[in-house]
Amino acid sequence: MLEKYFVHPDTLNGIRNCWLGEEIDKYVEWLVEQGYGPGAIYRRVPVVKRFGEFAWAEGARSFGDLPEQVESFVSHWMAERDSGQNAERTRKFRNEVRGPVEQLLSLVLPDFVRRGRQPLGIPDPFVTQAPDFFAYLRDERGLRESSIKQYRHFLLRLKAYLKRIQVATLSGLSPTVLSAFVTESTRELSPNTISGFCSSVRIFLRYLHRERLVVDDLAPTIETPRKYRLSEVPRSISWDDVGRMLEVVDQRTAMGKRDYVILLLLVTYGLRSREVAALTLDDIDWERERILVPERKAGHCTAYPLSRSVGEALLSYLTEVRSKSPERRVFLRTYAPRKPLTRVTISNRATHYLRKAGIQVRRPGSHTLRHTCVQRLIDAEFSLKAIGDYIGHSSPRSTETYSKVAVETLREVALGDGESLL
């Protein structure tokens, strides 16, 4: 959602690299659903981003630490910008700062209560028509708050849709309305999200029928769109495109040196973004010239030989760029606060360089480079079993997805035979 309003790469990456980046993205989505215009979004997002940076600098390390930082942040903001305005204007200005922060916290923390107000009213959609649904999720289904947040998110989407088509009550739900809602929503959601979205709506509808809040059981009308595993060739790029992507990385800068290593790890070993983000200094065995990737999806560890190109780039980053920090994670932000990069940031860096190089690919990101690694292995005629072991697939079926896709040995791939390619 952020990219619809912030198109400059530096601005977009700055927001997403903030430790509240994912929550800010959801906040923007909520603002849109509530009818806020672009101007309001442009005013609010810088405030909540700055709040996240301020709270981190003050020692906040979890969402639960944020509420106690609100007043300090507002005072800090006012001290920097208030230049002797009259009392009424100062009060209004304070509210303009506090408002976006408290809106964000109401989304992040279900129990957060805005100063001087009742709760925002958004955490529990349909609270007047189905008041006990979220208690049902907690008490009867035993769901964690993280799962319940997803229900809120999806049902907020349903609530906004019903408001837009002027369906005032849940009794106005029908197969036609629900079918149109699912069709519209699934166009906007990622394939991995659609299944959870449909499941959440079905459970809500079953609850409504069980509690006799609606006459008919409408849950069967919510059908998850079928996704055929072999219907698409995974998105990948040519090895020439890999070279083009690497060439646009400015290795003269601190960020460029760091990102160059990240890209090499993704495309050489086919790592997932979360695996790159989780790498620690202890996972690099310089003596044995290998990289250990622990806790893979399959539940095992993989030790890769450390290629010359990856090793040299990694050494350059660690000795010339990475700050002296007690943090053991390899990849840190290049500016304060120097916290570890998230999997989202890792994927965003890949997206950034693919676009900068002008490489056209559907949904570019870290998985583009993972797919590219797999394609090289397939082109070299390795078995799907060997490829699956190499990239950490938990099931042979996962690797079958690549079998439609039309370097010399696993070791040669890892060691970068022909260093000119890397």
Which pLDDT value is given to residue 286?
92
Q: Is the peptide bond prior to 337 cis by the omega test (within 30 degrees of 0)?
A: yes
Tens of pLDDT, residues 270-285: 888 888 999 999 999 9
- As a whole number of Å, the end-to-end CA separation of the chain is 34
Please tell me the number of Cα atoms within 13 Å of 403 on its side-chain side: 13
Task: Provide the β-strand partners of residue 290.
Answer: 285, 305
Q: Residue 421 in contact with residue 242, Cβ under 8 Å?
A: yes
Q: Say how far apart CA 162 and CA 178 lie, in whole Å.
A: 10
Q: What is the predicted pLDDT for the residue at 410? A: 40
* pLDDT of amino acid 208: 92
Task: Measure the CA–CA gap between 36 and 353, rounded to whole angstroms.
Answer: 32
Residues 5-16 have pLDDT tens digits of 777 777 877 887
118-122, 136-140, 374-378, 390-394: which is most confident: 136-140
Look over the chain and give the mean of its residue pLDDT values, rounded to a whole number. 79
The DSSP H or E segment spanning 161 is helix 145-164
Phi, psi of 375 (to 5 degrees): -60, -40
Per the omega criterion (within 30 degrees of 0), is the bond before 123 cis? no
Residue percentage of the chain with pLDDT more than 70? 77
The string of pLDDT tens digits covering residues 194-210 is 888 888 999 999 999 99
CA distance 377 to 124: 48
- What's the rounded Cα separation, in Å, for the pair 247 and 148? 44
* pLDDT score for 406: 39
User: Left, alpha or beta for 299 (phi > 0: left; psi -120 to 50: alpha)?
Assistant: left
Q: Residues with catalytic annotation?
A: 272, 297, 367, 370, 393, 402
| Nearest in space to 42 (alpha carbons), one of 33, 51, 31, 53 | 31
Q: Greater confidence, 373 or 380?
A: 373
User: Phi then psi for 320, rounded to 5 degrees?
Assistant: -105, -20
pLDDT of 330 > 90? The answer is yes
The letter for the amino acid at 284 is: I
Could you report the per-residue pLDDT of 84-138, keeping only the tens digit for each?
555 555 666 777 888 888 888 888 876 676 654 434 444 578 888 888 898 888 8
DSSP 405-416: ----SHHHHHHT
> For residues 316 and 304, which has the higher predicted lDDT (pLDDT)?
316
More confident call, 37 vs 49: 49
Among the ranges given (98-112, 162-176, 374-388), the one the predictor scored with the smallest mean pLDDT: 374-388
User: 35-49, 88-102, 307-321: which range is least confident on average?
Assistant: 88-102
Phi–psi pair at 47, nearest 5 degrees:
-65, -50
Please give the Cα distance from 15 to 100 (Å, whole number): 15
Contact 201, 151 (CB under 8 A): no
Distance, in Å, from the CA atom of 225 to the CA atom of 191, rounded to the nearest integer, reads 9
List the structure tokens of 182. Answer: 């699912």
